[in-house]
Structure 1
C-alpha cells in the first residue's frame, strides 16, 4: 500500500509539472498568437494520442449520452479559452491559481447539479475562498485588466465540465470522455481562430506543439495517478502546479510576486485542499 501511494503521489507531481510547462508554453507566446489559435494547437496535438489509445485498446467511439457529452465539451472549451486568455494577461502563477479554483465552484454547484447536501464547514470554506479570489483578482480590476476575470471564469466553467464528467463516468469510458472534449475543442477552436489567424514563427511552432504534448502527457499522468492514489490526496497534490508555475514565472519570466498574491494563493490552495478531503474528490479533474 505504501508503495502504491508513493507512486501515485509521484505521478500526480509529474502531471503538475507537465501542466505547468503547458501553461508556460502558452505564456511564452507573449500574446502574439491569438488565444483561440493556441487552444486549437493544444487540442489538435492532444487529439492524436487519444485516438491512438482508443484504437489500440479497441474502445468503440460511441456514447449513450450525447447531450451531456456536448455540454462537457462546450464547458471545457470555454474554460480552456478563458484560461489561455488569462495566461497572456496575468503573471503565470496568478493565472494558474485562478484556473485551479474549479473544486471550489464544484462544491458550490454540487447541491444543485448533483443533489449533494452542503455541510456548514464546506459553506464556510467557500465563503473564505471569496476573500482569496479578491486578493488575486482585485489588482486586475483596479487597472481594468480582464485577465483576472477570465482566469477566474475559467475555474467556474471548468467546474461545469467536472460535474458533467462525474455524471458521464457512470456510463462512459474515460478515454471516450476525453476524446469527446478534445474533438469538440479542436473543431470549435479551429472555427474561432479563422478571423485572427497568424502563422506561427520560429520557436512559436515548438511552443504551440509543446503545449499540446505537455497537456496530453499531463492528462495521462493524472488519470493514472487517480487510479492508484487516494482521490483526496491526489486532488491536494494537484495544487503543486501552482508552485511549479510560480518557480517558472520567477525563474524564466522574471515575474514579481506580491505579498497580496501569495496570501490569496495560500487561501485558495488551503480551501481547495480542504474541499478535496471533505468531499472525497470523487471525480478526477481533467485539465479542460
Structure 2
C-alpha cells in the first residue's frame, strides 16, 4: 500500500507547485516556468543518481523517449487548451484520465474473461463526481474543440502511466525516468520560449524564490508520481490522483484566502471516501493474490 502514500505525496506536491505558480503570476511565461522546473529536475536527478552511484546511461533509451515524448506532448497541448477555456472546465476534463483507466481495465478484464474491478471503478466514479462538484465546470459552444483536445490529453496521460509501469518492470529507477522527462521538457520549453514568446526574463528576488519552490515541488511530484505508477497499482494511483483538487482548495484557503463552501466540503468528502474505498479494495485484492499464491 506504499503506492497510496506516493500518490498522495505527488498530489500534495503538484498542488503546492500550482500555488507557487500562482504567486509568481505575471513575472514569467508558462514555457519559461516549464524550462526552469525542468532544468531544476535534471540537476537534482543527477545529484540523486551520483549519491546512489547510479548512471543516466540506460539500455531502454527508446522507452524513455516514448514516456518523455508523450509527457511533453501532453504539456504542450494543455497550454493550448488553457488559452480558450476556463480553468475549472479545463481541469475537469483533464482529470478524466482515471475514467479512461477504469474503462481500460474493464475492457482488459472482458478480453481475459475475468471479473472487472467494479469496486475500483465505482471509487473512481465517486472521486470524479467529487472533483466536478468542487470545480463546477461550465461548458459552452466554444469549448468543443479544446474540450476534445483535453480528452485527447487524458488519453495520452493514460499511455504515459502504462509506459511508466512498463519501465518500472524493466527495473528503471524513478530518478532516471524523471531525468529524461525533464531533459526533453527543458529542450522543448527553451525552444518554445524563444519561438512563441519574447525570450527569458531576469528574475526578481521574489521570482527566484518562486522558481526554486516550483522546481522543488514539481520535481518531488514527478518522483512520487513515477514511483506510484511505475511500481504501484494503476487504478489506485489514478483514483488517489483526484486528491490534488482538494489539496489545491485547502492550500488556496490558507495562502490566498479562497473561500471553501459547504458544497466544496461535501465534494472533498466524496474524494476522500473514494480514496479510502480504493485503498481498502486494493489491499483486499493484494491479500487475495498473496493467499492464492500460498495456496
Q: Residues 73 and 184 of structure 1 are in contact (CA less than 8 Å); yes or no, is this contact kept in structure 2?
A: yes
**Structure 1 residues 58 and 69: alpha-carbon distance in aligned structure 2, compared to 1, 3 A threshold:** same
Alignment partner of 2:137 out of 136, 139, 142: 139
How far apart are the structure 2 equivalents of 1:232 and 1:34?
34
**Structure 1 residues 269 and 63: alpha-carbon distance in aligned structure 2, compared to 1, 3 A threshold:** farther
Q: Residues 101 and 268 of structure 1 are in contact (CA less than 8 Å); yes or no, is this contact kept in structure 2?
A: no
Query: What residue number does 2:61 align with?
Result: 66
Query: What residue number does 1:105 align with?
Result: 100
- How far did 1:167 drift? 1.0
Query: What residue number does 1:40 align with?
Result: 35
- Tell me the TM-score normalized by structure 2: 0.67
Q: Residues 103 and 275 of structure 1 are in contact (CA less than 8 Å); yes or no, is this contact kept in structure 2?
A: no
Query: What residue number does 2:192 align with?
Result: 192
- How far did 1:89 drift? 5.4
- How far did 1:178 drift? 1.8
Query: What residue number does 1:27 align with?
Result: 22
Cα deviation 1:97-116 (Å, max 9, x = unaligned)? 76555433333335679987
Match runs of 1:77-96 below 5 Å: 77-81=72-76, 86=82, 90=87
**Structure 1 residues 228 and 112: alpha-carbon distance in aligned structure 2, compared to 1, 3 A threshold:** closer
How far apart are the structure 1 equivalents of 2:9 and 2:179?
22
Any stretches of 5+ residues in structure 2 without a counterpart?
287-295
**Structure 1 residues 273 and 40: alpha-carbon distance in aligned structure 2, compared to 1, 3 A threshold:** farther
Q: Residues 236 and 273 of structure 1 are in contact (CA less than 8 Å); yes or no, is this contact kept in structure 2?
A: no
Q: CA RMSD in A?
A: 4.7
Instruction: Using the TM superposition, name which of 253-262 and 211-220 deviates more.
Output: 253-262
Query: What residue number does 1:286 align with?
Result: none
Cα deviation 1:11-54 (Å, max 9, x = unaligned)? 76555443221111122233653222221111111111101111
Any stretches of 5+ residues in structure 1 without a counterpart?
283-288
Alignment partner of 1:50 out of 45, 48, 57: 45
Q: Residues 33 and 211 of structure 2 are in contact (CA less than 8 Å); yes or no, is this contact kept in structure 1?
A: yes
- Tell me the TM-score normalized by structure 1: 0.68
How far apart are the structure 2 equivalents of 1:131 and 1:266?
11
Is 1:170 the counterpart of 2:172 in the alignment? no
Instruction: Using the TM superposition, name which of 111-120 and 13-22 deviates more.
Output: 111-120
When Rg is computed on C-alpha atoms for both structures, the one with the higher figure is: 2
